[in-house]
Structure 1
């Protein structure tokens, strides 16, 4: 089967669907090709534990999704998306069962961290006030195309030169150092460090402070919301919006190659040999190594780019456990009972030890857990009186996880839970354990269980993402754009990678398209000569 469209998008994850919507809004004829039987990539929901229990297969909470200018511009609420919140955002439970609370009421958060040290409540509120001053420009700088000329200039004007330099220093700091400079007690520090570990950055790794600060501040402003009915409802809204503008999504149609001739992407060929001709652009919501090495091929690439891809660093592997419970988790911590997201298994030094074990290719003895209480956040996720729950933890890449070994790791996860919620195991109706191989089988872009499409380390961010180069969606192949999370700004359900790619494609086709390509070409030649 052959098609001809203005643009073909490879992959129907949120980035791919955002890109398709942006192009459709510009009047382009867009076709999205998805290898799986259902759209969504790492934003999908299914009943995998027990009937009536809706489990998010990958991502679940979306503070960046609500705050993202790219997703916000699409008005998905007009296409059926509804957000739901737990009573509280996040609780970090210490090994001794103390807890620090992140709340949509900043005063409640401040009160919680203030119980750990005098003065920390005021210091926390001061951080939130800074966030309110710079929020729009920070999000524009982090999520927009790199370099962030306009938003960066506005941020500098708002902060001034002196505070601008201090903010830039914070952005590259380890989160432990940032916390030590601003707070005395463990509560505020652990909220920052735990949120930083939503990436693959431990407390003592450069660049962790900005991630921890961003998520903690967003949690107070917009919460950690979930789509009512399941993560897949976010994708369903994106698909409905796209179809209302004439775009199409075809599932069960994997792409075998990007067709390249004369240094230009002409379209794609599917696994059955069918050709989709792209008059204007090919956008790929896949990891960078998959796009360049598998779909394009080394023969169409500069040799230096091929060498750089050999040094591409993935983030840590993941093991995820889903449960169907007969009742809410019986936490001994009241904060944990009310929070949608719970962190547990480590204090600050424990987080550092966990990260160090991963860096040394050791499976951590005590897993740090990031847990979601989905029925607490959205009552539609399971029958009344029950709870749909998941937890994930990271493990080193390259480990072989047999079913027996996965079972034993899940048992270890449950031991941590039982310590803080006696009686947890008595509530388990069903359990599903997914190791790195199972996660990749469900979504080929989760390579080896890496959920962020590449490390968040500073050496592979900004102008270094995915390789040292332009740090934009443009590629060395004309009219081919990287729209997945391997591109700037990286992982997270925010749609920015897709929106940036779509805007690059529109700029290439605009009235100044020739000049645009000349500038991009010159930049790429400088990098890959």
Structure 2
């Protein structure tokens, strides 16, 4: 029987961050991963044509480069290099107009000002607000909830009056926020398109803060990528962990968290092998998979099981990867320079797209989020070529036959061909991944849901993943939820893993008994 201080289930970025932080404190750590390679949704492979490196899931990481968690790990010392496209993001309207997000705020202001001249100064004013609150806001968002210290600093910076107005913005639909601040379509679409990096359409509560956050981050740090592929971020985390004595074992799925007397004692793998965890088990898996699968109902409060019945996933995803013989022949000059492209809808079109998904209808007009990877990182494909991907959301729970997937990919290409005539003539090869294919590559992408649960405000903060479980602690002592199902949710920032590691360290610190007593009392109050 193997014996470690901590066992981490899942080698996604959150699991690897948690393992690194525990190893930094001298804990012996084993990470068990079901897939053959580490990284979870941060992986790269050749799936189209030889020499074309495609990110299998996520690709651009503004939150990653801005995250104090990842910054504190010093991953540059372990081979990670961030690179950028000439421009950050272009949103191309159905009529061919485009709005540009740039690392030069003046260029962004000029772009949105071309739609309405009043918006140039209004956009720069928003960026000044961002500069004022940036550090404290990220601290408040990424630390355990409630964010007492960062929240207090944010309150002091803004003052009570502006803090209330900022809190109001955080709950607004992004369309309402855009209408209040801007006049033209350009600024509004940049905010709304960025909000749809979650599953929140223009008229859903809470979308404003996501759109604003990503747009402001894009101007400050860009939408960078790891040189060589997304998998290089995971590789750097693994190298750092191994340098501190930690281990990662791939191709070893966990089937059970071993629980006795209300405590997690270790895990059992798919072959029946037992790994003892002397201090903690940390799970980088979705909340339903942890509680209903690895732990089991017998060890959980009935109220939690009821809450899990109401757990809401985000939308399913279809992703298409291409190997192209040359750059995408965009009609839009902005799109030629941007690493990330939003395509296929204006603001009302985004609302129609989101409404179709809410009504479980396949959107007739797909909204595309597209990445030009060779434009961003020339190592991704042979000189003169382009490695490109695009994804779009579809209703959850539908059946996707190979023929139906092919037809949806053809529909995606029709949208591209409209704005980049001759696109199809450049295609060397393509790979189409439906919701089931994505889940087969990564068990945590349940049904093609890429954010481990909706970003809706009813399942954020103190409600994530269920009411009362806003921290990494679980009703099982020494078991901690380290995945994006926990606060603060989706995105490659490492905060969910870091929060779980901190909770495990607190549980076994000098005041560990008092810590567990407080946590236990809180959980009993929630689940009585």
TM-score where L is the length of structure 1: 1.00
Structure 1 position 146 matched with structure 2 position 141: no
> 1:412 and 2:411 equivalent?
yes
- The corresponding residue for 1:446 is 445
What is aligned with 1:66? 65
Q: Tell whether the 8 Å contact from 1:263 to 1:478 is kept in structure 2 after alignment.
A: yes
- The corresponding residue for 1:275 is 274
Whole-angstrom distance in 2 between the partners of 1:272 and 1:183: 59
Q: How far apart are the structure 1 equivalents of 2:74 and 2:98? A: 36
CA contact (8 A) 1:470 1:523 kept: no
- Equivalent position of 2:320 in the other structure: 321
1:197 corresponds in structure 2 to 196
Q: Report the equivalent of 2:135.
A: 136
8 A Cα contact 1:315 1:451, kept in partner: yes
What's the offset of the Cα at 1:227? 0.3
Give how far 1:470 is off. 3.3
Alignment of 1:277-296 (within 5 A): 277-296=276-295
* Other-structure match for 1:312: 311
SS at match of 1:399: coil
Q: Distance in 1 between matches of 2:259 and 2:469?
A: 21
Give me the whole-angstrom Cα distance separating, in 2, the residues matched to 1:3 and 1:124: 56
Determine if the alignment matches structure 1 residue 216 to structure 2 residue 215: yes
Query: Is the Cα–Cα contact under 8 Å of residues 76 and 238 in structure 1 kept in the other structure?
Result: yes
Query: Residue by residue, what CA displacement relative to the aligned partner does 1:280-307 show, whole Å, maximum 9, x if unpaired?
Result: 0000000000000000000000000001
Q: In 1, Cα distance between the equivalents of 2:407 and 2:95?
A: 24
| CA positional deviation for 1:113 | 0.2
SS at structure 1 position matched to 2:5: strand
Q: Deviations over 1:395-420 (max 9, x none)?
A: 00011110000000000000000000
Partner of 1:470: 469
Could you tell me how far 1:119 is from its partner in structure 2? 1.0
Q: Show the counterpart of 1:518.
A: 517
Q: Which residue number corresponds to residue 161 of structure 2? A: 162
Query: Could you tell me which residue of structure 1 aligns to residue 249 of structure 2?
Result: 250
Q: Secondary structure at the match of 2:52?
A: coil
Tell me the CA shift for residue 390 of structure 1.
0.2
Contact map agreement 1:12 1:32 (CA 8 A) in 2: yes
Please give the alpha-carbon distance, in whole angstroms, between the structure 2 residues aligned to 1:137 and 1:206.
23
SS in 1 for 2:289: helix
1:28 matched to 2:62? The reply is no
Query: In structure 1, what is the equivalent of residue 527 of structure 2?
Result: 528
- Given the alignment of the two structures, is residue 99 of structure 1 paired with residue 92 of structure 2, yes or no? no
- For 2:224, the equivalent position in structure 1 comes to 225
- Assess if the C-alpha contact under 8 Å between 1:254 and 1:271 holds in 2: yes
Matches within 5 A, 1:165-184: 165-184=164-183
Q: What's the offset of the Cα at 1:118?
A: 1.9
1:335: how far off? Answer: 0.1
CA deviation string 1:500-528 (max 9, x = no partner): 00000000001010110011001000000
Structure-1 separation of matches of 2:526 and 2:434 = 38
Aligned residue for 2:141, secondary structure, equals helix
**Residue number in structure 2 paired with 1:114:** 113
Give the secondary structure class of the aligned counterpart of 1:161: helix
CA distance in 1, matches of 2:509, 2:469: 20
Alpha-carbon distance, 1:69 to partner: 1.0
- Counterpart Cα distance in 2 of 1:201 and 1:144: 23
Aligned residues: 528
Alignment-derived partner of residue 348 in structure 2: 349
Q: 2: distance between equivalents of 1:399 and 1:267?
A: 36
The whole-number CA distance in structure 1 between the counterparts of 2:402 and 2:60 is 28
Q: What's the C-alpha RMSD, in Å, of the aligned pairs?
A: 0.4
Alpha-carbon deviation of 1:381? 0.0
Alpha-carbon distance in structure 2 between the residues aligned to 1:470 and 1:203: 28
Runs of 4+ in 1 over 4 A off after TM superposition: none
Equivalent pair of 1:103/1:220 in contact (CA under 8 Å): yes
Question: 1:496 aligned to 2:478?
Answer: no
**What is the SS of the residue equivalent to 1:233?**
helix
Using the alignment, how far apart are the partners of 2:4 and 2:222 within structure 1? 39
Q: 2 CA distance for matches of 1:117 and 1:172?
A: 26
Residue in structure 2 matched with residue 397 of structure 1 by the alignment? 396
Distance 1:106 1:523 in 2: 45
- Measured against aligned partners, the alpha-carbon deviations of 1:223-281 in whole angstroms (never above 9, x if no partner) come to 00000000000000000000000000000110010000000000000011111100100
Counterparts of 1:351 and 1:205, CA distance in 2:
11
Counterpart of 1:54?
53
Mapped partners of 2:397, 2:175: distance in 1: 28
Measured in 2, the distance between the counterparts of 1:140 and 1:178 equals 23
1:315-350 Cα distance to aligned partner (Å, 9 max, x none): 000000000000000000000000000000000000
1:78 corresponding residue in structure 2: 77
Q: Distance in 2 between matches of 1:393 and 1:20?
A: 33
